[in-house]
Amino acid sequence: MNNGHRGRGRRRRRLRRRRQLMMAACCLGLVVLVLGTVLIVKKVKGTDDEPVEVAAEVDVANEEPEDGTTIEVVEPEATEEATEGTDAEDPGASTQSEQGASVNVEDIVNASNVGENSNTTYGIDVSKFQGTIDWAKVASSGINFAMIRVGYRDSTTGEIKPDTNAKYNMQEAEKNGIKIGAYFFSTAVTKDEAIEEADWVASYVAQYPITYPVGYNCEGFENSTSRQYNLTKDDRSNIAVAFLGEVYNKGYTPIFYASKNEMASDAKWNTSTIGAKYKIWMAWYNQDSSNLTTGPSAGFKYDMWQYTNQGTIPGITKKVDVDVAYFGYNGTETAKDTSERATASADVEALMKFTEVNETVTAKSKTNLRDKPSQGSDSKVMVTLENGQTATRTGTSTSGWSRVVYNGATYYAVSSYLTTDLSAPAQTTAPAEQAPAAEEAPAQAPGFKTKFTDVNETVTAKEVVNLRSKPSVTDADSQVVATLSAGQTAIRTGINNEYGWSRVEYNGQVLYCVSSYIKVVE
């Protein structure tokens, strides 16, 4: 038994020595670990011209000893050499480490120098199709701004053309204290064309105080005749972004215009991408407009809402688009080009197309020469031309008007009151437009005769057209019974090409309208 006890004692002593050696080894290892970390930290801090292998220190420092002791992780100081020398093959490495310039996202989309605010403001958008606008009367209505079409790219030729009333509209809106925005109707098929359009717009508006945004408007791209017919949604969106980006580069706030249905759920445009950077101008009609300050939910963020194209406003004889913007400005911008600009005149022919001619005419009896091709209250009789007196006719319109030059001035006369037969004696009966010798007029319109070629086709207005009780704008008993707007349809049952009138059936009535203001529904 004594030998057994002595044996067990020797074994216990050997175990104690082993434990002591193991503890000593652990202590030595711990010292090595700590010293290793210090040495690496010293290398990082003390070496400026060598690549830094940060991973070695992190691997060591993140090992936690079994006894619960923690070792503080010492981060290396970030240096330019360390960034360039790490993971050279990974293109994302330098991108993740780079520090970009501090940018306010609002500054990307807002180029205002007068300060944008969050006020709700009210406006209209107009083009030459509103005719000659009385901007003093418009200002009296209380609108805050006007988005003015400044031009378009021809859908057939691709040529950039100005809206013929753009400069007049900008000039008169400014004169009457209305803040100005602008928009361009694009048919660009490449990003280069879009940038060309934006540069053209910036140059065209440079002499005017553009405070509200400059818009990109693109429609009709699904028509087979459109230049953009074969473009994909991505193509169109990238083209739009190119235009908007260039507008911003030129110092104007960009805005993207489209209908709600085209933009919702990225249906026809990459709205989510465009709207993340640029303002959105949404067209959506027949919605509840009782609370314009909030607007309807569209499923995406929008900044301006065109809520009708049937607005009536003093100073504009045609229907007009009406807008509400969920932003305003603290002042009015200064024009980027402050040099003296020429005075702009209204394009009185904006609502009709004239074919150029060159012929001498006289009155069949006598006729008024007016300052514009209209017999409305906005038109003035400047002089009366009598039979035997001559003028030079320079243009004719299918709407029944002639452009004439008399005593060096340009005027407008009803075509049917003129003749090229300079030897014809003065007529004592009414001109042919009002009493042509032809078939009997329909029973719904007694008291006049006219000649129509029978047709049967569905038509709509190009913009807006008056439907009259009689095919005349001169007779006092020719009343405007209804107004046909784009999208609304009527049945054309007859056409008179000589004087440019159409007979239509609308809401059960037989009415008459100027043919050049309507188009056949495909």
pLDDT per residue as tens digits for the range 41-68: 333 333 333 333 223 322 323 333 333 3
- Could you give the C-alpha distances from 221 to 43, 188, 402, 462, in angstroms and in order? 64, 10, 35, 17
As a whole number, mean pLDDT of residues 98-114 equals: 53
* Least reliable range by pLDDT among 180-184, 189-193, 363-367, 445-449: 445-449
- CA 295, CA 287: separation in Å to the nearest integer? 9
pLDDT at 437 over 70: no
- CA 23, CA 89: separation in Å to the nearest integer? 45
Q: Residue 376: pLDDT band by 50, 70, 90 thresholds?
A: confident
Supply the pTM of this predicted model: 0.64
Residue 446: CA count within 13 A, CB half-sphere: 1
User: Which pLDDT does position 43 carry in this prediction?
Assistant: 33
User: Which pLDDT does position 253 carry in this prediction?
Assistant: 98
264 residue type, one letter: A
Q: Residue 464: pLDDT band by 50, 70, 90 thresholds?
A: confident
Report whether 169 contacts 204 (CB < 8 A): no
Nearest CA to 72 out of 80, 62, 82 is that of 62
- CA 270, CA 250: separation in Å to the nearest integer? 24
Q: Is the dihedral of CA 484, 486, 488, 494 positive or negative?
A: positive
Q: Which two tokens stand for residue 262?
A: 């085209």
Report whether 324 contacts 122 (CB < 8 A): yes
- Could you give the C-alpha distances from 84 to 49, 53, 139, 158, 305, in angstroms and in order? 12, 12, 61, 48, 49
pLDDT at 14 over 70: no
Nearest CA to 213 out of 241, 158, 253, 245 is that of 253
pLDDT in tens, 123-153: 999 999 999 999 999 999 999 999 999 999 9
Beta strand extents in 420-488 (DSSP E only): 453-461, 464-468, 480-485
Q: Residue 20: pLDDT band by 50, 70, 90 thresholds?
A: low
Say which DSSP state 264 is in: G
Q: Which two tokens stand for residue 268?
A: 């026809």
